[in-house]
């Protein structure tokens, strides 16, 4: 799940806005599982009716529908719902680059960004461990620095590997 699915400018609210504008639930329906589909459809139907009452009613109904869509989306992804965040909340450059890659069909900028980011994080930890490697056996503090930096490097490598492996495993399911 994208880290901005619960924001006003995220994909769920954007799809919900389009669904209301076009009066077609199918724009937002893919963001919720089949088991939650009925609740979203009911919310959509009620929102469409209330929108006709007045501008203020439409504003309140729309926001309620956005909250319902985001809540159901989050629930379906096993995440807790804590309300809709403002536009731009938690937007990292990687999200923008990933969305741009999908839009343009060109992943090169995103790929370079990610590879550079991983490489810098990896290199920094490796260099720290290597710089601490040669220490005086009688300098316990230096030995601890070496052990800690080595463990940090190994744990970072392991966590990175496991994160990718788990994501690949989820794709297979």
Place 89 in a pLDDT band, splitting at 50, 70 and 90.
low
User: How many C-beta atoms lie closer than 10 Å to residue 38's C-beta?
Assistant: 10
- pLDDT of res. 85: 79
Does any domain span residue 90? no
Residue 87 has pLDDT above 80, yes or no: no
Query: 14-28, 58-72, 97-111 — which is least confidently predicted?
Result: 97-111
Q: 17 and 70 share a domain?
A: yes
What pLDDT score was predicted for residue 90? 54
Of residues 167 and 153, more confidence is placed in 153
Q: Domain of 134?
A: 106-172
Looking at residue 96, its pLDDT comes to 77
- How much helix, strand and coil, in percent to the nearest 5, is found in the chain? 75, 0, 25
| Domain assignment of residue 62, yes or no | yes
> Domain total for the chain?
2
Mean pLDDT computed over 104-116: 91
Is residue 133 within 8 A of residue 153, CB to CB? The reply is: no
**What's the pLDDT score for residue 1?**
42
The model scores a pTM over 0.75: no
pLDDT above 80 for 56: yes
Confirm whether 56 is domain-assigned: yes
Contact 85, 7 (CB under 8 A): yes
Mean pLDDT of 55-73: 95
Burial of 119 (0-12, 13-18, 19+ CB in 10 A): exposed
The answer as to whether 43 is a domain residue is yes
In a domain, 116, yes or no: yes
Residue 4 lies in a domain: no
Which of 54, 76, 98 marks a domain boundary?
76
Supply the mean pLDDT for the chain.
89
Average of pLDDT values for 88-96?
66
Q: How confident is the model at residue 92, as a pLDDT?
A: 62
Q: How far apart are CA 65 and CA 71, in angstroms?
A: 10
Residue at 25 is within a domain:
yes
Same domain, 19 and 72: yes
How far out from the chain centre does Cα 49 lie? Answer: 32
Asked whether the predicted pLDDT for residue 11 surpasses 50, the reply is yes
Do 118 and 63 lie in one domain? The reply is no
One domain for residues 71 and 115? no
pLDDT in tens, 117-159: 899 999 999 999 999 999 999 999 999 999 999 999 999 999 9
Query: Is the same domain home to 116 and 166?
Result: yes
* Distance in Å from the first CA to the final CA of the chain: 16
Q: What is the pLDDT of residue 140?
A: 93
Q: Is residue 122 part of a domain?
A: yes
Rg (CA), the chain: 23
């Amino acid at each position: 799940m994208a880290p901005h699915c619960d924001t006003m400018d995220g994909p769920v609210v954007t799809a919900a806005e389009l669904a209301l504008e076009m009066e077609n639930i199918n724009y937002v329906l893919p963001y919720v599982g089949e088991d939650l589909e009925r609740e979203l459809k009911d919310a959509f139907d009620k929102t469409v009716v209330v929108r006709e009452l007045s501008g203020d009613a439409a504003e309140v109904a729309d926001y309620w529908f956005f909250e319902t869509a985001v809540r159901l989306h989050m629930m379906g992804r096993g995440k807790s719902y804590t309300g809709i965040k403002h536009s731009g909340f938690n937007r990292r450059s990687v999200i923008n680059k990933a969305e741009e890659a999908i839009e343009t069909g060109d992943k090169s900028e995103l790929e370079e960004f990610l590879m550079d980011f991983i490489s810098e994080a990896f290199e920094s930890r490796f260099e720290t461990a290597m710089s601490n490697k040669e220490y005086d056996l009688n300098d316990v503090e230096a030995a601890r620095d070496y052990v800690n930096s080595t463990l940090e490097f190994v744990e970072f490598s392991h966590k990175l590997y496991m994160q990718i492996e788990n994501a690949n495993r989820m794709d297979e399911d």
